[in-house]
Amino acid sequence: MSSQLLWFVFVLSIITFVEGNISIGGEGCSLNDLRGLTSFKAGIQIDSSGRLPKWVGHSCCKWEGIVCDNRTGRVTEIYLPGLISSDEFFFQSQMNGQLSPLITLLTSLEVIDLGGLVGLAGNIPSSIGYHLPNLRKLNLYGNNLTGDVPESIGKLSKLEELLLYENRLSGSLPPSLGKLENLKMLLLNSNQFSGPIPDSFTNLTNLIHLDLHSNYLTDQIPDRIDQLQVLKELDLSNNSLRGNIPQSLTNLTSISVMYLDTNYLEGEIPFPSSFGQLPSLAFLRLHNNSLTGKIPPSFGYLVSLQRVSLANNNLSGAVPSSLGNLIALTELYLDGNRLSGQIPTSIGQLSQLILLSISHNLIEGPLPHEMSLLQNLQTLDLSFNSLELSTIPQWLAELPSLSRIFLAGCGIQGKIPEFLQTTPSPIQELDLSANNLSGSIPAWLGSLTQLYLLNLSRNSLVSNIPDTVTSLQNLGVLDLHSNKLTGPINQIFEIGKGFPDGSLTCIDLSDNSFSGGIEEIGMGAQCGIQFLNLSHNFLEGRIPITIARMISMQSLDLSYNELSFNLPEALANASLLETLKLQKNHFTGKIPIGFLELRNLKELDLSDNLLEGEIPVGEPLSNFPESSYSGNKGLCGKPLIPCKLRF
């Protein structure tokens, strides 16, 4: 009797399985597949692509984004990426809703592509590894998924691509991922993963691309990482990894991209130890760590390097002459270290070099004349070294491609050299700050019509701002602070006049002796100004109501001037304002009630004026300390003493 019962249960289970996977009416959609897809659709509240509303009826193999096996009728692919493209257009669609766990009913799936849907939330189904044995590609990147990566995912033995980047996934990385021996792409970057990189990852011997950047990963890089012999791209940047860089990395013969920057790595640069190691390495980033020691002379063996950044470490010693062997190099970042000595003459051999940054080191002069051979150099930053140049070498201004020149804190003296107006390539960015420049700002600067950034701050420049600056229609950043400049500032607010928005975003004229032109604020094309500092001058008059046009303003500092009259209500129109400093002036009247609309305000100083009346009640004004309002004898109300006690 018991054997007959067991036989009945066995037959019933077979029938149930077959019925679940048989297609309806021969139209190519099993009951389980249909149930899984309709459950997915039900979990989505908004589909801006319009694909899911077309999922009607039972013929799911005909639905958009669904691919079936012609032989079995089972669904093998769900292809609903957020980015929809054709020969004629690109469209970024969005799905808002929850990822249904019943998607695992589609047991014949080989591809799931739900990447870049932005609003897709929920968890990765915990049982995914038990139900989708044929899955080759799992693309869930660019969504709003939370929770951890389930341990069962390690059972997807056929998986070749696992793309989960740009979500809000958290927890530790499961060691079971190391069982996915067919995996070629593992992209888990831009999530909230923590803990160590599992040692089991070194078993992924078919891995070509590993990206774990922008998480909270800790501990050391696994020593056996050299087992990943076909690995071409490795990105572990922007984590909290510690310890030394493993010597074993030198054995990665296929690697072309290695990003280990923005961690807490220490010790010396361990590679290469001999010629022929890392033969394909083209892009190397080690910046923002705590690396010490010298740049090894053997670094010149990395002959395939195109871009390298060793910036912001504690590297010392001389720049090795062997860097001249890196003839494919286009970008070299050595800034923010303790490198000393002179720039080697071999630097002139880097004929492909586009960018050279050695700022904030201890480099000494003179500059080698061989640098004049850098015919493709576009950006040069030698700022804040011990160069003591006295003058800018004329050959530097004759480099045919140079358009961005940063020579701050280089000991340059005298007037701004006139040969800068006739450079072969129009200057786009010029930083000569923190030098010993004297004389006036030359009128010919107005001829640099491609100029976007001009920083002449912290010098000894005198006289007025020349009227020709109004010709700088592309100027975005102007910094003249801490000089001895005089006269009005109205020319600044005429830059970009005639253009709808203008390009100016940042102006700093503080710590000078300017005395007029405040009435021109907002009169030109200044809608895009985000930072304006006119403090520590001798500006007089009132803040004009035209300041209301500066709707992009985030920081305004007019402190330590001779400004007076009432504070304009129009200032409340700058709703993005985060910093407002008006202290040490002669403002009178009440604080406008409209200031309560400055919801983003984080820093406020109205102290030492002649303001009176009650401070408008409410946030953000009531959040600031007494020091924000002190020195105004007529003010009362929170956070000062209540008005009823004063009067």
What burial letters (b/e) apply to 188-205, b meaning 16+ CB within 10 Å? bbbbebeeebbebbbbbe
What integer pLDDT is reported at residue 17 of this predicted model? 42
In sequence order, the 6+-apart residues with CB closer than 8 A to the CB of 623 are: none
In sequence order, the 6+-apart residues with CB closer than 8 A to the CB of 367 are: 343, 382, 387, 389, 393, 396
Tokens of 94: 């969005």
What integer pLDDT is reported at residue 58 of this predicted model? 92
pLDDT < 70 positions in the chain: 1-28, 497-502, 524-526, 646-647
What burial letters (b/e) apply to 37-61, b meaning 16+ CB within 10 Å? beebbebbeebbbebbeebeeebbb
Q: Backbone phi, then psi, for 453, in 5-degree steps?
A: -125, 130
What integer pLDDT is reported at residue 419 of this predicted model? 95
What integer pLDDT is reported at residue 494 of this predicted model? 85
What integer pLDDT is reported at residue 612 of this predicted model? 96
E strands, 286-346, are 290-291, 307-309, 316-318, 331-333, 338-342
Best CA proximity match to 150, nearest among 190, 131, 123, 168: 123
Find the angle CA(340)-CA(341)-CA(347) to the nearest 5 degrees: 105
What integer pLDDT is reported at residue 18 of this predicted model? 40
Q: Backbone phi, then psi, for 625, in 5-degree steps?
A: -75, 170
Tokens of 615: 């401070």
d(CA 642, CA 639): 8
Reported as a single tens digit per residue, the pLDDT across 85-137 is: 877 778 899 999 999 999 999 999 999 999 999 999 999 999 999 999 999 99
Q: Is 312 helix (H, G, I), strand (E, B) or coil?
A: coil
Reported as a single tens digit per residue, the pLDDT across 354-371 is: 999 999 999 999 999 999
In sequence order, the 6+-apart residues with CB closer than 8 A to the CB of 418 are: 442, 444
In sequence order, the 6+-apart residues with CB closer than 8 A to the CB of 313 are: 286, 287, 288, 289, 290, 291, 292, 336, 337
What are the C-alpha distances in Å from 140 to residues 45, 64, 146, 192, 556? 18, 18, 11, 15, 43
Sign of the Cα torsion 51, 54, 60, 64 reads negative
